[in-house]
Structure 1
Amino acid sequence: MDKQIRDNLKLDNQLCFALYSASLAMNKIYKPLLQGLDLTYPQYLIMLVLWEEDGITATTLGKKLMQDLGALSPVIKRLEVQGLVERRRSQEDERKIELHLTAAGKAMQQQAGSLPEQILCASELNIDDLKTLKARLDELRDSLQKQL
């Protein structure tokens, strides 16, 4: 096997592994921060979306999070049990289920307010570098999504 192929197949040369391992590290950083809110990372992502747009449908939530609704349903149910979210039938179209924050879910936004700054500190990047990195990752994600 030639050297180029061997180099191409080294784990440390794989973009996918860099993204995967960074994602694992990010989740490990978030875990203790989210424990204070009694949230898992997937629950936190749902709350972020609902803090931006309360009352969206589960289908819209799935699109925003790029997740299958089947994978989100048990997470939504746990948020309901915790008293943070409630499902309601849409008044315009009874076939649609809307997700609404409860008072406790709305109040949690204030508690979560310091998380982005804590993640910035943990990253050891300055805000401009972090914004640039995020923009590049968004571009990569969008390019990859076009291939699906």
Structure 2
Amino acid sequence: MKTRFNDYISIKIHQIDLTLTSYIKDKLAHLNIAPEQNLILMLLWEEDGLSQNEIARRLDKDKSNITRMLSSLEKKGFIKKSMNKEDSRSLNVYLTENGKNLSEHVYPITEEFHSIVTSGIAKEELRIVEDVLTKMRRNVEGNK
């Protein structure tokens, strides 16, 4: 018997991803940042001065995608890029004052979003979800 459309876990995950992304996109729109740009900013708020390659690695994105997002963030005045003193082929990314100050507006949105997403879900259930998603990712990566 064929698997029905709604029985594919991959489709459910995709639909959830679309819902989550749409929600956070709407919440961040007035700040002029896209959800994926926000991920870069969140990394830099934790550790300013990361290399472009390190940002790509941590977000599991290709370098050209990160380059495009960084250029947009730079045009908006949130970051600046600088040559790495040890490796002239590498760029480091630093927050501007505007980029640093933006965290005061984004963190409350991020905390509220996390609270909404995890509402009514026990810590143990979240750990299980994380473990299962990690296994699914490894399954797919192992079959490339």
TM range (shorter): 0.7 to 0.9
Q: CA RMSD in A?
A: 1.9
SS at match of 1:114: helix
1:37 to 11, 31, 40: 31
Q: Distance in 2 between matches of 1:48 and 1:134?
A: 20
Which letter does structure 2 place at the counterpart of 1:87? K
How far 1:20 moved relative to its partner?
A: 0.5
Q: Distance in 2 between matches of 1:120 and 1:64?
A: 20
- Identify the residue that residue 144 of structure 1 maps to in structure 2: 140
Identity %: 20
Which letter does structure 1 place at the counterpart of 2:120? L
Structure-1-length-normalised TM-score: 0.84
**Deviation per CA, 1:66-121, whole angstroms, max 9, x where unpaired?**
11111121111010011101110011222211111111111111211112332234
Compare CA radii of gyration and give the structure with the larger one: 1
Which letter does structure 2 place at the counterpart of 1:93? D
2:68 to 68, 71, 74: 74
Q: Distance in 2 between matches of 1:42 and 1:122?
A: 19
Q: Unpaired segments of 5 or more residues in structure 1?
A: none
Query: Per the alignment, do residues 48 and 139 of structure 1 end up closer, same or farther by CA in structure 2, a change over 3 Å counting?
Result: farther
Superposition misfits of 4+ residues, deviation over 6 angstroms: none
2:116 to 117, 122, 129: 122
**How many aligned residue pairs are there?**
142
Q: Unpaired segments of 5 or more residues in structure 2?
A: none
Q: Distance in 2 between matches of 1:66 and 1:45?
A: 11
